[in-house]
Amino acid sequence: MRGTSVSAGAALQAFAAELYPICRSITGAGVRKTLRLINRRIELDWHEVPSGSKVFDWEVPLEWNIEDAWVGDADGRRVVDFNAHNLHILNYSEPVRTVLPLEELRPRLHSMPAHEDWIPYRTSYYRRQWGFCMRHRELASLPPGNYEVVVDSSLAPGSLTYAECVLPGRTKEEVLFFTHICHPSLANDNTSGMAIATELAAWIAGAPRRYSYRVVFAPGTIGSLCWLQRNQQRLGRVRHGLVLGLLADPAPFTYKRSRRGDCEIDRLVEYVTHGIDPRARVIDFEPYGYDERQLCSPGFNLPVGRLTRSVNDGYPQYHSSADNLALMSAGQLEQSLEACKRVVEVLESNRRYINLSPKGEPRLGKRGLYGAMGGRSPAERERAMLWVLNQSDGSASLLDIARRSGIDFAAVKLVADELEQAALLGSADATRRTPAAATRVAGAVPPSKSKKAAPSRSGRRKRQGIRSTGRRK
């Protein structure tokens, strides 16, 4: 990995470990506790959507909270205990207090026969029931007889909580990051996504921005539907988006394209992740996964892709107690954060230009544009300039030029700035008209310099502050 330090990965790992033990669900105290921890690091706007609210074809359910739950044998020993692991409860179990013979209890006990020592993660948000999840080995060893069953939970009118970090930029055009916050003690899915989205927001806040950014922390499905419903008027501003999750397991990156399939974010994330790790994969859109299912439903069809390592259901430990802190390495977390930062850097710098001297090649020498620069040989610099001049007819972006030429984005960006200063290029983007705006853009930095760039951004964070509108808690 380039441009990284052990401490940043260790910090991400420590924050993920703080989030890991919390019993989360799509509503309730666990979600709010999680958001409070995130709110210590970044400013969040909180939103509470009351139970019973209609959300498109869905309805916000009763709020679920849980104090304790267990199954006790004839000797009063807890054979399944929520306090030992929060995956032991079927998430959203209704309250119950009863005694049942094993044969009647058995259909309520869920296990993974293929992995006898793992506890499965199961939910029942919309069908009211109760149940427990346990290791298959322990389930198989339960003797016949009566068992005491206690689920000390509540399902009552309350609200669904989601929150977002809003970072205004020079334009109202928005970049959206989305991560799900509803899974209980599962590490990769999704304490990794929450930790990375938090650090990414803090980093973005530390420098001036062309785009406005919105980093949303919401329960899966019903949370993104609530967000979509409350933001319908603003969706036209969303220029690019990325769902983040499952970012700490050992697999290489997987980028899942937007439903549209040909958005700037699609080309850009493919370019960035492949540049970091040549094993990075790109898969096409499918209507299965995380919140891209809602964001890319045909009624919205937002330019939003998804970045993970393994995909949902794509690793053995998925949705089980084996998706624990041991599955997450500091190095994977840090590399994932680095990828997200580079996505932002390239988005911020990616532009379209028009060659202002398009008839034949302009003479570079008389404008002082020959010679070495930025650690590049005169020949490399000239080649990059010729590519940018040739392709800049207003249709190709700098990213398109980098991809077509094989020259790295940072070099393309560097020479485009020089050519613009020499009045050989003019902006083709409506959002960027003045030279003053150009100089304030956070430029992409070459990979070797990205380590230096990050502290300078975060160093400015104190002065810049994290601007957030309509904050309420």
- Site residues, Zn ion (CB under 5 A): 189
CB of 222 to Zn ion, least distance (A): 14
Q: Which is nearer to Zn ion, 190 or 450 (CB)?
A: 190
- Name which of 314 and 459 has its Cβ closer to Zn ion: 314
Q: What is the CA radius of gyration of the chain?
A: 25
- Shortest spacing between CB 201 and Zn ion, in angstroms: 22
20 versus 211: smaller Cβ distance to Zn ion:
20
437 vs 421: CA distance, rounded Å: 13
CA gap 47, 234 in Å, rounded: 16
**Least Å distance between CB 82 and Zn ion?**
20
Q: Which is nearer to Zn ion, 189 or 266 (CB)?
A: 189
Least distance from Zn ion to the Cβ atom of residue 220, Å: 7
End-to-end CA distance of the chain: 39
Q: State the angle between helix axes of 409-421 and 378-391 in degrees (0 to 180), rounded to the nearest 10.
A: 80
Give the strands of the sheet with 146-156, arranged side by side.
78-81, 63-72, 146-156, 96-101
The DSSP code for 366 is: G
Angle at 144 between CA 138 and CA 147, to 5 degrees: 80
Q: How far is the CB of 204 from Zn ion (least distance, A)?
A: 25
Nearest-approach distance from CB 352 to Zn ion, in angstroms = 38
> What is the smallest separation between the CB atom of 183 and Zn ion, expressed in angstroms?
5
Is there a cis peptide before residue 190, judged by omega within 30 degrees of 0?
yes
User: How far apart, in whole angstroms, are the C-alpha atoms of residue 218 and residue 193?
Assistant: 12
Question: What is the DSSP annotation of 21-71?
Answer: TS---SSSHHHHHHHHHHHTTS--EEEEEETT-EETTEEPPPEEEEEEEEE
Tokens of 299: 């009624």
Partners of residue 238 on adjacent β-strands: 174
> Which is nearer to Zn ion, 43 or 189 (by Cβ)?
189
The smaller minimum CB distance to Zn ion, of residues 63 and 189, is found at 189
Six-digit token string for 35: 């958001």
C-beta of 327 vs 344, nearer to Zn ion: 327
Place of tokens 């921890």: 37
SS3 332: helix
Nearest residue to Zn ion, scored by beta-carbon proximity:
189
What's the closest the beta carbon of residue 313 comes to Zn ion, in angstroms? 8
Q: Are 344 and 244 in contact (CB under 8 A)?
A: no
- Taking the least distance from each CB to Zn ion, the nearer of 289 and 362 is 289
